[in-house]
Every structure is written in C-alpha cells, then in structure tokens.
C-alpha cells in the first residue's frame, strides 16, 4: 500500500435525550478506535442526542455547539495521538438547529457539514445546510454526507469533483414504509446506494449506522466500509449488533478507480453540457407524476 489509511465505523445505539451517556459512549468507541491505530473514525448520525425527538423542547435540550460543545471537546482529547473523528450531532446554531457532522482532530474542531436533505420529521427540528465542505486531513481529502443525502447523487458527485477521496457518512438508516428492508444477503438499501456511490465516483465510503429502536422507529444496522472500486472492504455489519468495523484501504486506489479503462475517466467522460437542463431544474420536469404516500 502506498497511501494506506485505516478507517473505522462504530455501530451502536445512542439513547434519545441522554446527552451525557451518549458522549460517554462516543468517547468509548473513539478510545477503542485509537487503540487500534485508526486514522479516521466515523460515528452515527445524531450520536450526541438520539434521533426520534418527541417535542421541540426535547430537541432544544439536547443541542450543542459544533465548535466547542462538550462532545467535540471530549472527542478532541481522544484524538491527541492523531485519530480523526466524524460524528453526527444535533447542532445548536443561534435560534436554529442543524443535523450536522463534525470533523474533529488533535487540535479540536476542523469542519462542520450541515445535512442538506432532511428526512421526514427532521424537517420539524432542523434547518437544512447549504454547503458541502471537504477537508484535507493528514492521510487524504474527506467529505461528508448524512443518511438521506445519499439518495441525492449530486451531493457525493460534488464532493468527489471537489477532490474528496473518502466520504464519511454518519447515518440512521430506517425502514420507512419500505416493503423490503434487507436483501437475502443481509444488505439494506443504504449499503447498495453507498456501493453505487463509491463505484460511480471512485471514492471510499465509510457509513456508520446505528442500531436499536426509538419510539417505534427501528434502525437497520448494516454499517459498511466500501472501497473506491465499489465493493465492500468491511461489512455490512449485523442488523442489531454493536460493533467497530475496521478496514485498511489504499487511497492510491482512488485515481485507479476513476480510470476505468485507459480510455475512460469517470470525471473527464462526464457530459455536463447534456445534463444541465435536468440537473439545474429546481422542480420535477413537466408531466412528472407525484406518488402518494401509502397510509
Ligand atoms: C435519515 O435520513 N436519517 C433517514
């Protein structure tokens, strides 16, 4: 390996509203990753607060600052020897909140990504973000998306075009109203979308899901680390187990993955001139049919 990086994803069950206990749990997973000499650890979406809020006051009470909150400070201490973490937090931003992913290193907060595509009831608690930052860490360039963002391929594509070699994905995959949750091999749809994203962009995907049930919402597990060729290098994890998946990947594979053949280049072969009319349109094309949500 010429550009090795050790990546880990922590799959466990944060508890709704228990900010102190959730901080302790996140620190314990980070300590375990640090002991395994991990370079980049990804923790789940809303690991600081839990996911299924019952009220505005509950959401507000578990929000914290992205740069100097207690969780960020606690994880900074664990990063002293070179670990970097991406963790999902309920971010307090003045009068509003964001469903955010924070990058933390030995010196503390490095960057914040605020989820662009809010899912279902998240729209009651959070404001969407507006930017897709990439950060240069000692081992490579990292971007972030959160859970439902994966269903919008433009986000990962924008990160890859901005040079991201790894996309960290704090997630809380849910069954929603889907008729099928897992395939025969135990993969959930999030795994398959993450594999497609890796293959389409020649990017490493590190997806940290949670497990457990909150107020009748079941989370799917299936955390996964996908190589830049689109195939899993670790996982998917079990549907209920708490586990740290660890994988060594070579970031030199990223350039190779983007050159599918000597005559192809995933980015150079793009045809934005032909896509623009569709991609920049704010609304569905005329004649598009909106599907009613089953009750
Ligand atoms: C989700 O976006 N957390 C389903």
Predicted confidence (pLDDT) per residue in 55-87, tens digit:
999 999 999 999 999 999 999 999 999 999 999
Residue 73's pLDDT is 97
CATH class for the region spanning 4-270: alpha beta
Residue 206's pLDDT is 99
More confident of the two residues 277 and 191: 191
Residue 291's pLDDT is 60
**Mean pLDDT across the chain, nearest whole number?**
94
Read out DSSP for the chain? --SEEEEEEEEB---TT-HHHHHHHHHHHHHHHHHTT-SEEE--TTTTT-S--SSHHHHHHT-B-TTT-HHHHHHHHHGGGS-EEEEEEEEEETTEEEEEEEEEETTEEEEEEE-SS--TTHHHH--------EEEETTEEEEE--GGGGG-HHHHHHHHHTT-SEEEEE---B-TT-S--B-TTS-BHHHHHHHHHHHHHT-EEEEE-B-SEETTEEB----EEE-TTSSEEE-PPPSS--EEEEEEEETHHHHHHH-SSTT--TTTT--HHHHHHHHT-SSPPTTPPPPPPP-
Residue 53 pLDDT grade (very low, low, confident, very high; cuts 50, 70, 90): very high
Residue 275 pLDDT grade (very low, low, confident, very high; cuts 50, 70, 90): confident
Does the beta carbon of 125 sit less than 6 angstroms from any atom of ligand 1? no
Does the beta carbon of 126 sit less than 6 angstroms from any atom of ligand 1? no
Mean pLDDT on 225-246: 98
Residue 276 pLDDT grade (very low, low, confident, very high; cuts 50, 70, 90): confident
Question: 176: CA distance to ligand 1 center in Å?
Answer: 9
Q: Locate the domains of the chain by residue range.
A: 4-270
Residue 177's pLDDT is 67
């Amino acid at each position: 390996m010429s550009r090795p990086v050790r990546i880990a994803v922590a799959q466990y069950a944060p508890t709704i509203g228990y900010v102190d206990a959730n901080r302790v749990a996140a620190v314990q997973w980070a300590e375990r990753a640090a002991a395994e000499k991990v370079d980049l650890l990804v923790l789940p979406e809303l690991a600081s607060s839990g996911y299924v809020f019952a009220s505005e006051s509950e959401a507000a009470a578990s929000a914290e600052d992205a740069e100097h909150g207690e969780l960020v400070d606690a994880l900074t201490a664990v990063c002293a020897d070179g670990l970097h973490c991406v963790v999902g937090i309920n971010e307090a931003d003045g009068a509003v909140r964001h469903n955010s992913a924070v990058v933390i290193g030995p010196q503390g907060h490095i960057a914040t990504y605020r989820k662009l595509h809010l899912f279902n009831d998240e729209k009651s608690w959070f404001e969407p973000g507006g930017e897709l930052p990439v950060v240069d860490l000692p081992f490579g360039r990292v971007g972030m998306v959160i859970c439902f963002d994966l269903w919008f391929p433009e986000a990962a594509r924008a990160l890859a075009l901005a040079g991201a070699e790894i996309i960290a994905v704090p997630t809380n995959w849910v069954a929603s109203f889907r008729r099928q949750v897992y395939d025969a091999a135990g993969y959930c749809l999030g795994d398959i979308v993450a594999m497609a994203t890796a293959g389409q962009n020649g990017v490493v995907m590190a997806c940290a899901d949670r497990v457990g049930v909150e107020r009748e919402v079941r989370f799917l597990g299936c955390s996964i680390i996908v190589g830049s060729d689109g195939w899993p290098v670790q996982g998917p994890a079990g549907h209920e187990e708490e586990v740290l998946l660890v994988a060594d990947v070579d970031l030199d594979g990223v350039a190779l993955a983007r050159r599918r053949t000597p005559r192809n280049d995933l980015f150079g072969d793009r045809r934005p001139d032909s896509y623009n009319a569709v991609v920049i349109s704010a609304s569905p094309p005329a004649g598009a049919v909106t599907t009613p949500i089953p009750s």
